């Protein structure tokens, strides 16, 4: 399904855009230029991000994010003409607006505990098989559906006139136009993956006010021009459009995978790791449900058949705890020591829900890792190096299991695994993934989400990029990647069995 393209005519020789790429721990605004010779991507503004604790709850500082986004767009505009703007971010979180279009409080973070126990209530009412058959979504306690069920009866939800996922909320403040881009809408567990519509009957049964769900739009459509006041603030002329890119950052990151074959698996490795395949149709079989795989929308009508894995969040939270203890560790030095540490000594279930919440002074992340090792009857890691090795080995065991399971469920014979995002810079992680999967790993580019954001904008604004294959070919011409060949020697079957028991192998 092609995106909404620019009007017919000669392709533009050069398109320059601003890509707002928001992660759960940092945000960045990049300038991107597409020309026949390649892609030029430059980071012009970066800022920290993170959930803010207020009382017992975790929120996003969405106004601070908006402010920093405007600073970044202004920097892009200051350094050259600007043809468009696109926004991608993490999934599932949202803001509620009243009938005047005003925000009803700070958006909750998906790491907020208000959804504890809610999934069981929902499954008891609608049934797991029906929920999966309709939405095709992995069971994660923080999915939008559970956040909204948890919010039933609150003043905010009862006063809400519209719900906007975070990239769409930010786009609304730029343009005044409301909507929900499909790749992100598909993550909510409120979207019918078979029909491509909101699952209104499901909302009704669960007491969710479905009328607040905005109109759906495709990646590549034009949201609207910048509001005059916004255009003046960021220093551009009237009429600069905001383009709906693959607004779930993983959807943009998958566009940014430089694959030359359709028989590839991808791992978008960052705070979260998204491990899966790009397919033409969803897989909503009972086996896929039992394996807890998700079917999320991708750019050009594709399906991202994947599993959410906890990701490098566990390591970054551990580093934060060690920094707080003033241990003087650097990530580079820690990883160098970790590479020399005994492999597969301790492996845990990296997706254990106890690793989800941010660490605290009384419950730091490293101690949670040690506790899980002890609970599993495995050697307890006693130093930062041992804990870091446990985290990376456990992450790779999860990668291996989910790459293999995805291929089996979809009936695909894989040729290669692509790792993109921040984890692609971790040579140990990439080599271990090649070893564990028994497949070559191609690592990079790091900024895959921003690249996918830029490419979808570019096509909409007139660049000669008719399909995903042409986008990926342009990435291969523009960026160097690193290749890792699988090495024998470690017993990955046994390591997986230590985590998953007899289901492994």
- Report the catalytic residues: 249
**Of 329, 371, 327, nearest to 346 (Cα)?**
371
Which pair of tokens denotes residue 356?
């989800």
**Of 60, 96, 57, nearest to 209 (Cα)?**
96
Q: Rounded to an integer, what distance in angstroms lies between the CA atom of residue 267 and that of residue 350? A: 15
Strand runs (DSSP E) across 73-207, as ranges? Answer: 84-88, 94-97, 162-165, 180-181, 191-192, 197-198
CA angle 171, 299, 164 (to 5 degrees): 30
Q: Rounded to an integer, what distance in angstroms lies between the CA atom of residue 97 and that of residue 279? A: 35
**Of 387, 376, 293, 291, nearest to 337 (Cα)?**
387
Length of the chain: 505
Q: Rounded to an integer, what distance in angstroms lies between the CA atom of residue 443 and that of residue 319? A: 23
**Of 294, 292, 313, 215, nearest to 251 (Cα)?**
294
Per 3-state DSSP, what percentage of the chain is helix, strand, and coil (rounded to 5)? Answer: 40, 20, 40
Helices (H), 440-491: 448-460, 468-478
Q: Is 363 helix (H, G, I), strand (E, B) or coil?
A: coil
In the block, which residue shows the tokens 């975070």? 166
User: Which DSSP string do the residues of 67-82 spell out, in sequence order?
Assistant: HHHHHHHHHHHHTS--
What is the DSSP pairing of strand 441-443 with strand 416-420? parallel
Q: Rounded to an integer, what distance in angstroms lies between the CA atom of residue 262 and that of residue 413? A: 10
Q: Rounded to an integer, what distance in angstroms lies between the CA atom of residue 353 and that of residue 122? A: 18
Q: Rounded to an integer, what distance in angstroms lies between the CA atom of residue 309 and that of residue 306? A: 9
Q: Is 503 helix (H, G, I), strand (E, B) or coil?
A: helix
**Of 392, 406, 203, 145, nearest to 287 (Cα)?**
406
Which pair of tokens denotes residue 202?
């499901």
Q: What count of other Cβ atoms lies within 10 Å of the Cβ of residue 215?
A: 9
């Amino acid at each position: 399904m092609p995106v909404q393209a620019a009007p017919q005519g000669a392709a533009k020789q050069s398109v320059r855009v601003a890509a707002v790429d928001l992660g759960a721990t940092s945000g960045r605004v990049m300038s991107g230029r597409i020309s026949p010779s390649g892609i030029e991507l430059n980071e012009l503004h970066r800022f920290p991000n993170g959930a803010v604790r207020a009382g017992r709850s975790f929120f996003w500082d969405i106004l601070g994010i908006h402010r920093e986004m405007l600073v970044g767009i202004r920097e892009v505009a200051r350094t050259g003409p600007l043809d468009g703007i696109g926004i991608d971010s993490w999934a599932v979180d949202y803001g509620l607006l009243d009938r005047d279009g005003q925000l009803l409080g700070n958006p909750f973070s998906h790491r907020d505990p208000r959804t504890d126990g809610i999934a069981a209530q929902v499954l008891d009412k609608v049934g797991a098989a029906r929920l999966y058959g309709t939405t095709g979504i992995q069971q994660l306690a923080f999915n939008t559906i559970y956040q909204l069920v948890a919010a039933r009866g609150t003043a905010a939800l009862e006063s809400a006139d519209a719900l906007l996922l975070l990239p769409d909320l930010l786009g609304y403040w730029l343009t005044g136009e409301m909507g929900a881009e499909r790749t992100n809408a598909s993550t909510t567990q409120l979207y019918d993956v078979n029909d491509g519509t909101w699952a209104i009957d499901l909302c009704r049964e669960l007491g969710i006010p479905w009328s607040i769900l905005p109109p759906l739009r495709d990646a590549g459509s034009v949201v609207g021009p910048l509001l005059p006041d916004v255009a003046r603030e960021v220093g551009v002329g009237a009429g600069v459009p905001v383009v709906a890119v693959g607004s779930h950052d993983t959807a943009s990151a998958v566009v940014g995978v430089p694959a030359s074959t359709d028989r590839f698996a991808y791992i978008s490795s960052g705070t979260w790791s998204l491990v899966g395949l790009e397919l033409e149709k969803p897989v909503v079989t009972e086996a896929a449900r039992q394996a807890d795989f998700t079917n999320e929308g991708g750019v050009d009508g594709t399906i991202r058949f994947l599993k959410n894995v906890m990701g490098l969040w566990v390591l970054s939270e551990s580093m934060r705890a060690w920094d707080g203890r003033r241990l003087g560790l650097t990530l580079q030095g820690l990883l160098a020591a970790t590479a020399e540490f005994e492999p597969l000594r301790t492996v845990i279930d990296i997706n254990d829900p106890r690793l989800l919440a941010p660490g605290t002074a009384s419950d730091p992340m490293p101690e949670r890792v040690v506790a899980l090792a002890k609970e599993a009857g495995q050697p307890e890691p006693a130093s930062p190096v041992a804990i870091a090795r446990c985290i990376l080995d456990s992450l790779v065991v999860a990668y291996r299991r989910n790459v293999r399971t995805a291929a089996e469920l979809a009936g695909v014979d894989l040729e290669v695994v692509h790792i993109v995002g921040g984890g692609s810079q971790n040579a140990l992680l990439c080599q271990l993934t090649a070893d564990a999967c028994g497949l070559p790993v191609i690592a990079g580019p790091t900024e895959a989400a921003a690249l996918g954001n830029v490419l979808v904008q570019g096509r909409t604004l007139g660049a000669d990029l008719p399909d995903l294959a042409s986008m990926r070919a342009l990435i291969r011409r523009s960026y160097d990647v690193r290749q890792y060949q699988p090495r024998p020697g470690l017993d990955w079957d046994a390591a997986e069995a230590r985590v998953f028991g007899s289901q492994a192998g």
